[in-house]
């Protein structure tokens, strides 16, 4: 019996090529996809530590000095790098420790300092605003702004126009100013001459009286209250603090 030649092996199936990508050279082995830079991993870790939602991770910007930037540009491999914060993560300057293990298991520690900031939409004055002016679409709008580490006690910018449009300006503002809650005048909860309920705490007992405000005042502001119906020299007044609509509290009677 004559031996038949073995059938020829089927040619390898070419790997699919993404649209717009150059075709690999004949006989070449396609390169594996490149790993994301270590800086991207650090940015996502920082965003998580800062409490940002996954949708807001791309809003975070991370910059580093030239020496650290070279390390952060290296491809990240989950088996090689571990990132931990040094201290409490916050916007501004942040220090992190990066543990690197080579294929032989040798450990190298890196300390990296980066600057973090966010680009967000915030309410911004689009024209000059005077104290007492009403905020409207003509003088305020949402604009992209960059926020970093703010001074202690600084108010965060308003991220929506809800509660802004229609409110009065507490202070004069220049164009481009980012609006914060303190720029909005608080509505008066007590009107001059208006009837108010006066509450006085005396130990475990609360006394309630009626009176009339001698000025306009917002929540938390001080106001003088005239007790009862008496006027003139016979009127008795007390210093009170506004606690609600037409309600005040007297700490010392």
Poorest-pLDDT segment among 160-164, 200-204, 218-222: 200-204
Smallest Cα–Cα separation from 116: which of 139, 96, 142? Answer: 96
* Amino acid 174: pLDDT: 95
Q: Where are the domains of the chain?
A: 38-117, 188-250
What's the pTM?
0.54
* Amino acid 16: pLDDT: 46
Q: Provide CB contacts within 8 A for 226, sequence distance 6+.
A: 211, 212, 214, 235, 236, 237
Mean pLDDT of 109-137: 90
* pLDDT tens-digit map of 55-71: 778 788 888 888 888 88
Q: Is 251 a residue whose pLDDT tops 50?
A: yes
Q: Is 18 a residue whose pLDDT tops 70?
A: no
When the candidates are 3.40.50.300, 1.10.10.60, 1.10.30.50, 2.30.30.760, the CATH number that belongs to 188-250 is 2.30.30.760
């Amino acid at each position: 019996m004559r031996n038949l030649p073995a059938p020829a092996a089927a040619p390898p199936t070419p790997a699919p090529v993404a649209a717009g990508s150059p075709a690999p050279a004949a006989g070449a082995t396609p390169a594996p996809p490149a790993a994301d830079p270590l800086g991207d991993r650090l940015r996502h870790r920082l965003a998580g530590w800062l409490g940002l939602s996954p949708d807001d991770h791309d809003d975070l910007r991370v910059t580093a000095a030239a020496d650290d930037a070279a390390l952060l540009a290296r491809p990240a491999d989950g088996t090689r790098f571990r990132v931990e914060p040094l201290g409490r993560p916050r916007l501004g300057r942040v220090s992190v420790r990066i543990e690197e293990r080579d294929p032989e298991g040798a450990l190298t520690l890196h300390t990296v300092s980066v600057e973090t900031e966010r680009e967000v939409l915030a309410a911004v004055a689009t024209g000059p605003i005077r104290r007492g002016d009403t905020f409207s679409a003509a003088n305020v709008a949402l604009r992209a702004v960059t926020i970093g580490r703010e001074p202690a006690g600084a108010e965060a910018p308003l991220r929506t126009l809800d509660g802004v449009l229609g409110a009065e300006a507490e202070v004069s503002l220049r164009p481009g100013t980012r609006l914060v809650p303190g720029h909005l005048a608080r509505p008066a909860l007590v009107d001059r001459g208006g009837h108010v309920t006066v509450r006085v705490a005396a130990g475990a007992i609360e006394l309630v009286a009626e009176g009339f405000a001698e000025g306009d005042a917002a929540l938390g502001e001080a106001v003088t209250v005239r007790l009862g119906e008496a006027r003139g020299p016979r009127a008795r007044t007390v210093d009170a603090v506004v606690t609600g609509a037409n309600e005040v509290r007297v700490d010392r009677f």
